[in-house]
A and B are shown apart, each in its own frame.
Chain A
Amino acid sequence: MGFYLAQLLTGLANASSLFLIACGLSIIFGVTRIVNFAHGSFYMLGAYLSYTLVTHLSALGALGFWGGVLVSALLVGVIGLLVEVLILRRIYRAPELFQLVATFGILLIIEDAALAIWGAQDLLGPRAPGLSKAVRILGEPIPQYDLALIVIGPVVLGLIWLIFHRTRWGVLVRAATQDREMVGALGVNQALLFSSAFFLGSVMAGLGGALQIPREAVNLNMDLSVIGDAFVVVVIGGMGSVTGAFIAAVLISVLNAFAVLVFPQISLVLPFIVMALVLVVRPYGLLGKPGSEKGAPADPEAPLRPLNPAGRLAMGAVVVILALVPLVSADFTMILLVDVLIAVLFAASLHFIMGTGGMISFGHAAYFGVGAYAAALVVKWLGLSMVPAMIVAPVASGLAALVFGWFCVRLSGVYLGMLTLAAAQIVWGVTFQWQDVTGGDDGIIGVWPAKWASSETAYFYLALVLCAGGVWLLRRAAHAPFGYMLRGIRDSEIRAEAIGVDTRFHQWMAFTFAGTLAGLAGVVSAFAKGSVFPDVLNISSSIDALIMVLLGGIHTLLGPLLGASVFVLIESWVTRLEYWRFIFGLIILGVVLIAPDGLAGALSRLLAFLKARIRPGTDTKKEALHGQRS
């Protein structure tokens, strides 16, 4: 009995920590509609700052500890405020993808900044004075600090409730969560409201991190490891609902505390399974409201145009030039080019879901990874050779997309994105834990191509045919009636439904189709590298694909091609540097702020400008519009 009570109390203490960070995320999302990856960084910064402050103030006893914690939280709030004013304020009207990728860029920058300041080693913080012992409850030792946390969570919830219901600022925040445009039309300065909400949210993240130092070592992985769980809690609770976040935090943490007793491996996947189940029953989370799934309002999309003859010629020329590369260049170039081809197909398949299908996916790596693992598994366990493996793999990833897609297309907006993330995390968790079959962290090695394709040149041609073919299929689909339907659904689901389109079915099929082709990219990658590791399935890998789509420009079908190429080239250069995350983050922010229509957009603006210079009198604007959407 005492043992179970101890588990329950541990669960509740964890719930308090999780609630602090999740409620900040929820407040920020509710008002600004930004899915803020950097929230994990704020949590981590809170922990680092309080480690430094509390260590220096240890002579002051309890005052030093709690003072240090509060000051760290406030400092993190100020950092959050700076981020909001300097960067995010410029992209509130941009599509979700931009905001997401921009906040990920901020996360990278903060991670390297923390590395430079605090170093790579884990830091063990001091314990809270007066709360460093354990009390015995029914014979079980319970850390006093856990009991303090169990009290702090509900107290913070109560304070936030009071702020939201008893102050004018709180009423404005709640109003803005429902209809921020209308709040502006009633005379409220949105910029101020957003900044202050962002400040409060960041303070909560900082507080969550600062309170964590007596419980776990401060390290550089805290940001990404916490953000997944925080998203889950926010989504289960309903985006924008603080009370919902509390209930969800308790639900997840307590379930987890007991589930690990039965099945210890489950803790990696459990939150995501719970989220998937909750979303299927309640598509807006426990306390979320219809409409809470919508990101920032963005301008409607202009229609896609098929390539004109010159464009087709250019694309053909690119393929021909690529085909000639092996004649003149070294093996290393070809290995790099195979990476580019794989990335292009992967990014193009994600773009199909997002650009044409209008569904945001934070977990596209799942299908790439399932393709890669399916190939590796049939090679390793069934002894199949490359060609059958290359047939099995896309089918497997297509099936995975069919299953997960069935759930995902029932949701929309950010909830949909979160469910795709959950799907990817579940696949990753299973792969990581199921050591006997997948090799766990050690991956599967020895996935070599067939003899005829084993030379760098032969494999390059194979990759070129498969990837160019895959991209061609995606383009065909986008310009086929199927693509028209998808774009129609994207632009107005209600109208598409009213003219008799089965919207869910089309989205489901689009999801499956894109998943299949991502799987094709995955299998090409598996045989190119000769091995598969769980990394291909993790959040960073999904975000890489998002960055490629963004780099290229989301409004054009050429975008992902350009974006993926540039991404792989930059990555292969920059990752050799010491603080590459910092540089990469800066590049991402640069693209988001300077060329929000991506490289393809920037390029066509440049072309239109040059054309206008050569042929004076043409309508530059019109040209630009044409160029951008080709």
Chain B
Amino acid sequence: MLEVRELNSQYGGAKILHGVTMTLGANEVVALLGRNGAGKSTTMKSIMGMVRQKSGSVLYEGAEMLGRPSHVICRAGVGYVPEERRIFKELTVEENLSVGKREKRADAPEWTLDHLYTLFPNLKERRRNLGKHLSGGEQQMLTIARTLMGNPKVVLLDEPSEGIAPVIVEQMAHVIAELKREGLSVLISEQNLHFARLVSDRAYIIEKGQMRYEGTFAELDAQPEVSAKYLAV
């Protein structure tokens, strides 16, 4: 589905990623684990064409995406949910959703407003409210719903559990399970090992811009020294 090979990225003079390689299979949920500043967000932004200085390869369904503008990558079927809930604060919930709307895709599920409102009942109640008047959890739900309006096949979820209440984290886990049930592939970046284990099939660990570990959670649990070294704070 998505294959990243030897990805190097930098901002100005600062190199962030050093030869990152990873894959995301069809209908798979994969966690990208790592501490703050390890390079999780930069990996996602590089896949999405939002980092300018980069080299390597990002293959989506066999086609090279590296160097293409983000709207082309999005239209190809890759949805991106940013961290820090970058909703459009001065637009209403429904306007936010309409910005994300794209044509129906033959090979991916179509998300209608009704379908999204069943998945995110809060948003329906607040559909006429401005983005800035939503709670943190509602904003997080809105960013996901907005990306789903583009009917993606692959979703990149950047730190979905960051800074939201435990009850919303639970709802988030439910949403990710629903995405998998609908046949999507999901890459989530996480610092929260517990949450990642709950929702994903496999994990990568990134540290200082390099991949340090790849495997299932069972394998990761068998080597406590790995998570102690790369994840413990």
Contact = CB atoms under 8 A, between A and B. Distances in A.
Q: Do A and B come from one complex?
A: yes
Interface in B79-110: 80, 82, 86, 88-91, 95-96, 98-100, 102
- Counting chain A CB atoms within 10 Å of each CB, the highest count among B50, B86, B88, B96 belongs to B88
B166 interface: no
B228 interface: no
A282 interface: no
B80 A185 contact: yes
B50 A302 contact: no
Interface in A470-489: none
A178 interface: yes
Nearest to B48: A185
Given A171-B98, A189-B71, A190-B69, A179 B88 contact: yes
A183 B89 contact: no
A460 B58 CA distance: 61
A93 B69 CA distance: 14
Contacts of B74: 184-187
A357 B74 CA distance: 38
Nearest to A491: B12
B146 A186 contact: yes
Contact of A299 (B52, B70, B100): B52
B70 A185 contact: yes
A181 B49 CA distance: 10
Contacts, number: 74
With a 10 A CB-CB cut-off, give which of B52, B71, B82, B98 has the most chain A CB atoms: B71
B95 A171 contact: yes
Interface string A169-184: 0011011001101111
Interface of A: 93, 168, 171-172, 174-175, 178-179, 181-190, 289, 299-303, 625
Given A178-B90, A186-B147, A300 B95 contact: no
Interface in B132-154: 146-147, 150
Interface residues of B, number: 29
B13 interface: yes
A171 B99 contact: yes
Contacts of A179: 86, 88
Contacts of A190: 69, 71
Given A171-B99, A186-B146, A190-B71, A300 B88 contact: no
B150 A174 contact: no
Contact of A175 (B13, B69, B91): B91
B12 A301 contact: yes
A591 B223 CA distance: 58
A172 B98 CA distance: 9
Contacts of A183: 99
30 contacts: A168-B98, A171-B98, A172-B99, A174-B88, A174-B90, A174-B95, A175-B91, A178-B88, A178-B89, A178-B90, A178-B91, A182-B86, A184-B71, A185-B48, A185-B70, A185-B80, A185-B82, A186-B74, A186-B147, A187-B100, A187-B150, A188-B71, A189-B71, A190-B71, A299-B12, A299-B52, A299-B53, A300-B14, A303-B13, A625-B13
B80 A175 contact: no
Nearest to B143: A182
Query: Which has the most chain A C-beta neighbours within 10 Å: B53, B95, B102?
Result: B95
Interface string B34-55: 0000000000000010101100
B24 to A, nearest CB: 18
Interface in B15-48: 48
Contacts of B71: 184-190
Contact of B99 (A186, A301, A302): A186
Contact of B82 (A182, A188, A301, A302): A182
Nearest to B147: A186
Interface string B52-64: 1100000000000
Given A175-B99, A299-B12, A301-B12, A184 B89 contact: no
A526 B147 CA distance: 61
B115 interface: no
A181 B90 contact: no
B164 to A, nearest CB: 19
Nearest to B81: A185
A90 to B, nearest CB: 14
Contacts of B91: 171, 174-175, 178
A450 B75 CA distance: 72
A251 B14 CA distance: 47
Given A93-B52, A190-B69, A175 B88 contact: yes
A186 B89 contact: no
B69 to A, nearest CB: 7
A289 B90 contact: yes
Given A186-B74, A188-B71, 18 more contacts: A93-B52, A171-B98, A174-B88, A174-B95, A175-B91, A175-B96, A181-B50, A184-B50, A184-B69, A184-B71, A184-B74, A185-B82, A186-B100, A186-B146, A187-B150, A189-B69, A189-B71, A299-B52
B87 to A, nearest CB: 9
Identify the interface centre among B13, B70, B146: most chain A CB within 10 Å of its CB. Answer: B70
Contacts of A175: 88, 91, 95-96, 99
Given A185-B82, A188-B71, A189-B71, A302 B13 contact: yes
Contact of A184 (B13, B70, B147): B70
A53 to B, nearest CB: 38
B101 to A, nearest CB: 8
Contacts of A182: 82, 86, 88
Nearest to A290: B89
Contacts of A174: 88, 90-91, 95
A197 B11 CA distance: 29
A39 B121 CA distance: 46
Across the A-B interface, give the 5 residue pairs with the lowest CB-CB distance, nearest first: A187-B74, A300-B12, A302-B13, A184-B70, A299-B12
A187 B69 contact: no
A168 B99 CA distance: 8
A178 B131 CA distance: 12
Contacts of B90: 174, 178, 289
Contacts of B70: 181, 184-185
Given A175-B91, A300-B12, A301-B12, A188 B50 contact: no
Nearest to A300: B12
B75 A187 contact: yes
A221 B75 CA distance: 47
B186 to A, nearest CB: 16
A303 B74 CA distance: 35
Contacts of A168: 98
Nearest to B100: A186
Contacts of B53: 299
Nearest to B75: A187
Contacts of B102: 187
Contacts of A185: 48, 50, 70-71, 74, 80, 82
A288 to B, nearest CB: 11
A302 B52 CA distance: 16
B11 A299 contact: yes
Contacts of B88: 174-175, 178-179, 182
